[in-house]
Amino acid sequence: MRTYPALGLPLAALACVACAPVGGGGDPPTVHGALSAPIHPDAGCLVTIDSPPLMPALHVPIPSDIQWDSNPPSSGPHYPIWAAFQAYTTPVPRGYYVHDLEHGAIVLLYSCDDDGGCPDVAAALQAVSDAIPTDPLCASEGVRVRTVITPDPLIDVPVAAAAWGWTYTAACVDLTTLQEFALQHYGQGPETLCSPGTTEF
């Protein structure tokens, strides 16, 4: 059995947590919208990684209605303040978390029909955040890494993630590909900041 190195847990136990694959298991992941070979042989469901065209990083007043070119958004207009780097149990408005992306954050998202809030999915996304090495930029700010974990009822898949200029969508929690995405795109926003954000939305 293969072991997930960052967490020291069996991949078989983690590859697809809490969500059944949508549209049938075993579908190969896609990259940039084109069907391709699997990103990882242990991928438990359909995974799509895309790099939408960058939109201008303009500040707009809260609570402006913003239109983005991807779901989840990965660049573009956003509010002047960003969300604090942490996990949330209620949705962070997109205008805030797009600003986090500009600061190089990874935003981990889930959509849940369960009244209990899908704690297994939230815990799996926290495990992805925990596997990112401690960010020295954040040491003086009382933050370990630049991640935001939040429900987002506007995504059209159970699990998604975003980095500046990149999106990840999946039909289940596939920790291997999600961690690879987070590690590959962490800290790549046009503004490298780890200053505290807001939790008042």
Q: What is the pLDDT of residues 69-112, one digit of tens each?
A: 999 999 999 999 999 999 999 999 999 999 999 999 999 999 98
The residue behind tokens 């990112």 is: 132
Please tell me the distance from the alpha carbon of residue 131 to that of residue 14, in angstroms, as a whole number. 13
Task: Provide mean pLDDT across the span 143-166.
Answer: 97
In this prediction the pTM is: 0.83
Q: Give the pLDDT score at 4.
A: 26
Q: Sign (positive/negative) of CA torsion 95, 100, 106, 109? A: negative
- Name the region of 59 (left: φ>0; alpha: ψ -120 to 50; beta: rest): beta
Residue 181: pLDDT over 70: yes
Does residue 171 have a pLDDT over 90? yes
Cα separation, 42 vs 142, in Å, equals 35
Whole-angstrom Cα distance, residue 78 to residue 62? Answer: 9
pLDDT of residue 114: 80
Task: Choose among 43, 174, 183, 168: nearest CA to 121.
Answer: 174
pLDDT at 84 (0 to 100): 98
Q: Which residues contact 38 (CB under 8 A, 6 or more apart)?
A: 28, 29
Alpha carbon distances (Å) from 115 to 16, 18, 89, 112, 119: 20, 14, 12, 8, 10
What is the number of other CB atoms lying within 10 angstroms of the CB of residue 160?
22
Give the best-scoring range by mean pLDDT among 12-16, 56-60, 139-143: 56-60
pLDDT digit string (tens) for 27-81? 444 444 444 344 555 678 999 999 999 999 999 999 999 999 999 999 999 999 9
